[in-house]
Chain A
Amino acid sequence: MKKILFIEDESALQKTFSDILTQEGHEMISATDGEEGVRLAAAEKPDLILLDLILPKINGFEVLKKLKGGITTRDIPIIVLTNLEGAGDIEKAMEMGATTYLVKANYSLEEVLQKIKQALGE
């Protein structure tokens, strides 16, 4: 069983992923804003973080910076899961240390699950 932190403000997505990941035998922790995400990442030390970029309080790029700068969190793989697809967003997130960048609209749930498994080394 792996521990996955999902930093996402959309409750519908929180529910979908919580259901599917629990069924796959994992534990999912939810954070609904950037600050909570950074705090939970440090406290819970998850095996993987799923991160949206448009978030309340502090945005996803800030969260990424803080996580990659923190001694206890910098080695946790981070999958960016967002609909933000502006010029340079993908390059910026990858340069900041994201493992994968997925644009929600372009991926099926099954494909996202595959990427999660890959990142977990399954």
Chain B
Amino acid sequence: MGFKLILEELNVFSKCKQYRLSIWQCPQFLFLIMGLVIIATALVTYGLGTRYYVADPETVSLIVFIITIVLFVITFSIVRSMEGLAEASKLKSEFIGIVSHQIRSPLSNLKWAYELLISEKFGELGQKQKEYLKILQENFDRMNELINNLLMVSRIEEGRLPLNKAQFSLTKLIEEVINGSKILAEASNVVVKFVASDSLPPAFADRQMVRVVVENLLDNAIRYIKENGQINVILKNDGDNLLFEIKDTGVGIPKDDQKNIFQKFFRSKNALKYQTQGSGLGLHITKSIVNKSGGKIWFKSKEGEGTTFWFTLPKNK
């Protein structure tokens, strides 16, 4: 297993292909070439030094000069390719930010026009009209959620995720989120149970952001339970922190996918099998928020049996 991993790491060609980079723009390949040049230089120098005596200092200087130039060119290429990657990453974040913002405006126009229609302030609506308006609403809610997620990822990447920390009751927040998902849970025949230890101190974090964390974890737990199932949520003390646990009887995360689930845009094979909707951003955002709040997040999962997620948040001091 370890040996296989090392071999995979050394296969620079497949790495470069994976990142969709040409060979001469790929840092891994350039490092490999530089390493080979250094080794070759060392061997040649050793050979020259031990077997042949080079009497002419000019020849030695020339060899050293040529090797230095070769190494300089390679190093320069590596730096350039790194700059290119950093630039691409910056452009991508800016692109996500601009596109999301531009989509948000027409989306709020749509939402408010819909709200005006459904309020029946300008005339009563028939049953069929209401049904179709509901479809409209569900779909721009979905779009809104996606845009908000993209904007949040772009903020996380730019390192400007705003956190307004204050003390609040995490128990109360969890109860609110569970109440808010009642309809979805009932529709999926899922029972959600919540137990909180007595007299827990308040948490110290950004309530809005922690709400996103709890919503994401509960939403995932409900969505990936196939038909009937149970979700147990526990909140208790853990030293200087509060410890949140959510355990589901869902489809679980395949072992191969477990290392990637916090990566952005990653969707597990199981997730795709049971739920085609989803951007693969929820857990990435969740982890970023927990980490920035001074907590930790981890999980344990077995395919076919279920998943348990834990996260900690600092207590109010």
Residues of A participating in the B interface, judged by any CB pair closer than 8 Å: 10, 12-13, 16, 19-20, 23, 83-85, 87, 104-105, 108-110, 112
Chain B contact residues: helix, strand, loop or mixed: helix
Contacts A23-B121, A87-B162 given: A109-B116 contact, CB under 8 Å?
A: yes
Contacts A13-B109, A105-B107 given: A20-B101 contact, CB under 8 Å?
A: no
Is B116 in contact with A19, judged by CB distance below 8 angstroms?
A: yes
B109 (CB) vs chain A CBs: closest residue: A12
Contacts A19-B122, A87-B160, A87-B162 given: A108-B115 contact, CB under 8 Å?
A: yes
How far is A104 from B148 in the complex, measured between Cα atoms in Å?
A: 12
Using a Cβ–Cβ cut-off of 8 Å, how many residues does chain B contribute to the interface with A? 21
Is B112 in contact with A10, judged by CB distance below 8 angstroms?
A: no
Residues of B participating in the A interface, judged by any CB pair closer than 8 Å: 101, 104-109, 111-113, 115-116, 119, 121-122, 144, 147-148, 151, 160, 162
How far is A105 from B105 in the complex, measured between Cα atoms in Å?
A: 8
B residues within 8 A CB of A13? 108-109, 112
B147 (CB) vs chain A CBs: closest residue: A105
Is B121 in contact with A83, judged by CB distance below 8 angstroms?
A: no
B153 → A minimal CB distance (Å): 14
A84 (CB) vs chain B CBs: closest residue: B101
A residues within 8 A CB of B148? 105
Is A104 in contact with B162, judged by CB distance below 8 angstroms?
A: no
B277 → A minimal CB distance (Å): 20
Contacts A10-B109, A105-B107 given: A83-B101 contact, CB under 8 Å?
A: yes
A54 (CB) vs chain B CBs: closest residue: B105
Extra inter-chain contacts (17) besides given A19-B116, A109-B119, CB under 8 Å: A12-B106, A13-B108, A16-B112, A16-B116, A20-B121, A23-B122, A83-B105, A83-B108, A85-B151, A87-B162, A104-B104, A105-B104, A105-B108, A108-B111, A108-B112, A109-B116, A110-B119
A11 → B minimal CB distance (Å): 9
Is A10 in contact with B105, judged by CB distance below 8 angstroms?
A: yes
B159 → A minimal CB distance (Å): 10
B residues within 8 A CB of A20? 116, 121
Q: List 10 A-B contacts (CB under 8 A).
A: A13-B108, A23-B121, A83-B104, A85-B151, A87-B160, A105-B144, A108-B111, A109-B111, A110-B119, A112-B112
B residues within 8 A CB of A109? 111-112, 115-116, 119
